[in-house]
Amino acid sequence: MLTKRMEIELNKQINAEYWSAYFYLSMSAYLEEKGLAGAANWMRIQYQEEISHALKFFDYVVERGGKVRLQPIDEVPHSWNGIIDIFEETLKHEQKVTSLINSLMDIAIEERDHAAKSFLQWYVDEQVEEESGVQTLLDQLNMVEGKGNGLFLIDKDLGQRVFVDATKKD
């Protein structure tokens, strides 16, 4: 059974995951408007990943006998200053998510909730992968200054990404 503190914090994380999903979907819409269908696809996959992350938290709270309390999702941004700005914001956001996951892990340790620690370890590992992947894309975009033939090739590559629900592995 979850402690009340852990239940409250996990519910906050569910909300944060849904906000992240909206954030990436908003980026996808912006990129479509700019004619960057590949990057828009990449962000739509991010959206799907965040939804699956939220549902994994949701199911965990239920499985541990807690109550899920869905809250309104705050508005997300709708415009950026180009593709490099978007991926800089994406990296900052993933770093923020990492700090949220680390805080949850700290709470699990303080509450001596070994099951929550085990559950959260997947997210700790996932965030390393998320930050690394975004940093690589940002580095590539900076190499081509976010334009020209280089951007065309990166965008084409980003269009190849498909959604794989990593929360279903293990």
Closest CA to 87 of 128, 50, 46: 46
What percent of the chain is predicted at pLDDT more than 70?
Answer: 99
Q: Where are the domains of the chain?
A: 4-70+78-162
pLDDT, average across residues 12-24: 98
Per-residue pLDDT for 36 more than 90?
yes
pLDDT at 157: 97
pLDDT (mean) for 50-76: 97
Q: How confident is the model at residue 168 (pLDDT cuts 50, 70, 90)?
A: confident
Q: Write the pLDDT tens digit of every residue in 66-113.
A: 999 999 999 999 999 999 999 999 999 999 999 999 999 999 999 999
pLDDT of 128 above 70: yes
The number of beta carbons lying within 10 Å of the beta carbon of residue 12 is 16
Average pLDDT of every residue of the chain: 97
Q: What is the pLDDT of residue 167?
A: 87
Q: Long-range contacts for 4-8 (Cβ within 8 Å, ≥24 apart)?
A: 5/107, 5/111, 6/66, 6/107, 6/108, 6/111, 6/113, 6/116, 7/61, 7/66, 7/67
4-70+78-162, which class in CATH?
mainly alpha
